[in-house]
A and B are shown apart, each in its own frame.
Chain A
Amino acid sequence: MRVQFVLQEIWIGLRRNLTMTIALIVTVAIAMALFGTGVLLKMQVDKSNNYWSDKVEVSIYLCNKLSANPNCKKTEPNQSEKDAIRKQLESMPQVAKVVPETAQEAYQRAKEQFKDSPGIAGSIQPGDIPDSFRVKLKDPKNFAAVVAQMSNREGVDQVVNERAILDKFFKILSGLQWAALIIAAIQLIAAVLLVANTIRLSAFNRRRETGIMRLVGASNVYIQLPFVLEGAIAGLVGGVFAAILLSFSKVFLLGRLQKNLQLATPLGWLDVTTVIVASMCFGILLCALASFLTLRRYLKI
């Protein structure tokens, strides 16, 4: 196998239909980048989901003087009423653990949480957040009974189900993820068609050469290799661009998501690199395979 000869043939092939090659590279790059973004989002969702599912709680806020809920009548339940609520919670089969949090503790925690935003931290007053029970469920999915029993109970202001909030958020994320994957799939189809077309043109442009190669007894591998590598190289270059785009989407899209939404589980560069390498390999293989299959139709051996 003469490496230099094969490389030279590839170079000629790529240069002869430069516009097609560029279109191909761009398409592959976009397809791979979207595909990778979809996978990254999915990884992020799964990871966050796992992380959150053992932490989500149902919070039961009790009435106090500031409660807007008319059932509260602006009065705080006394200690025995609070204990009754706690007992009732603890007796429910879905409940794993009940942790009380006093208004003072809640105030401290909120100040801590917003210490980077002095505006918010300063506007919080003790008593803004009432006494509450943080209820840990045995299975976070079985929140309905707890929410139903607690919602209109005397002395209870609000029942906040974190699970429902998270679910809404994850729904948006997985919507994004599916959008990325669907566009990626369409782009991939476009990429395959473009590869087929590029290689067909290339085979047509070089029919003299391949005709002579056939005649003098060049092996099929030797005849096809430059074309298949041509597709693979376009895939590789597209993959490099995709890697750059993916790095951007890690920094800007995921990075921003993590910052703004306080996802406790950032995806590391290792995950991103894995996705990049995987989508690159996938792209190269896809292009090479598309070239190979096209050749079988257009290059009589």
Chain B
Amino acid sequence: MIHFDNVTKVYSHQSRPALQGVNVAVEKGEFVFLVGPSGSGKSTFLRLILKEERPTQGGIHVAGKDLSRLSNWKVPHLRRRIGCVFQDFRLLPNKNVYENVAFALEVIGKPRRFIRKVVPEVIDLVGLEGKAHRMPDELSGGEQQRVAIARAFVNRPMILLADEPTGNIDPATSIGIMKVLDRINRTGTTVVMATHDAAIVDAFRKRVVELEDGRVVRDQSRGVYGQAYGGV
């Protein structure tokens, strides 16, 4: 599903590479934690998958497509197959829960009938039943992140990328968010989640890819967060 083939990324005006010779293959339906200290290149890894950045060297394949051969006007179609969640939720403050989720479908031109059918289903799936008409500022951080997940998932993407989705949320609520991501993973969606949250990584026991200074230093199935940062 996601193949990094000896990928190096050096940002312009920067001498130190953000990623260096990265080889990672994530298969369909996998759940992968991306861990590593700040600045190790986790977000860069995710941005490369979305073709928000281009690799300086190496090849990336996503959903069977060679990103280097994907022309710019086809990038939106790639992104429709990938959902994204961020630490800061990125909801539209002037739209309610339903509208925020529906927005993702409206802007890719989905018919209104379809939107009316699937949006409530997804709102239920992330555990926000009955809150469709709340505004973002009437929701807790955990609930806002559920809205963001609903928006990322409403178009049934093949891949869900999450960049520190529990970064702004307390541990107890984080577990709830993780359960939602797990539920989504069980529908066959590949999930890649960058995180600093040792407790969650240790509790879920999924594949762990660890980055350090832009290199993959560990790739372990059913792994833990890692000794170096005070994990198990």
Contact = CB atoms under 8 A, between A and B. Distances in A.
Contact of B107 (A208, A216, A301): A216
B90 interface: yes
Contact of A216 (B72, B73, B79, B112): B79
Contacts of A5: 106-107
B85 to A, nearest CB: 10
B8 interface: no
Contacts of A220: 73, 76
A209 interface: yes
Interface in A210-247: 211-220, 222-223
B104 A216 contact: yes
Contacts of B80: 216-217
Contact of A301 (B72, B81, B84): B72
A51 to B, nearest CB: 55
A263 B72 CA distance: 60
Given A217-B80, A220-B73, A212 B108 contact: no
B140 to A, nearest CB: 20
B69 interface: no
Contact of B109 (A2, A208, A209, A215): A2
A217 B106 contact: no
B145 to A, nearest CB: 15
Contacts of A208: 90, 92
A148 interface: no
Contact of A215 (B84, B92, B112): B84
A228 to B, nearest CB: 16
A218 B107 contact: yes
A212 B73 contact: no
Contacts of A2: 106, 109, 112
B151 interface: yes
B106 A211 contact: no
B117 interface: no
Nearest to B104: A216
A1 interface: yes
A49 to B, nearest CB: 52
Interface string A263-301: 000000000000000000000000000000000000001
Contacts of B76: 214, 217-220
A232 to B, nearest CB: 20
Interface in B76-99: 76-84, 90, 92
A219 B107 CA distance: 8
Contacts of A219: 73, 76, 108
Nearest to B93: A208
A217 B90 contact: no
A213 B155 CA distance: 13
B103 interface: yes
Nearest to B79: A217
Interface string A189-222: 0000000000000000000110111111111101
A1 B108 contact: no
A223 B108 CA distance: 10
A212 B85 CA distance: 11
Contacts of B77: 217
Contact of B104 (A1, A212, A223, A301): A212
Contacts of B151: 212, 216
Given A218-B76, A301-B72, A213 B107 contact: yes
B190 to A, nearest CB: 17
A219 B71 CA distance: 13
A215 B85 CA distance: 10
12 contacts: A2-B109, A211-B90, A212-B103, A214-B79, A215-B50, A216-B79, A216-B107, A216-B151, A216-B152, A217-B80, A217-B82, A219-B108
Given A216-B151, A219-B108, 10 more contacts: A2-B112, A5-B106, A208-B90, A212-B103, A213-B107, A217-B80, A217-B82, A217-B108, A223-B107, A301-B72
Interface of B: 50, 72-73, 76-84, 90, 92, 103-104, 106-109, 112, 151-152, 155
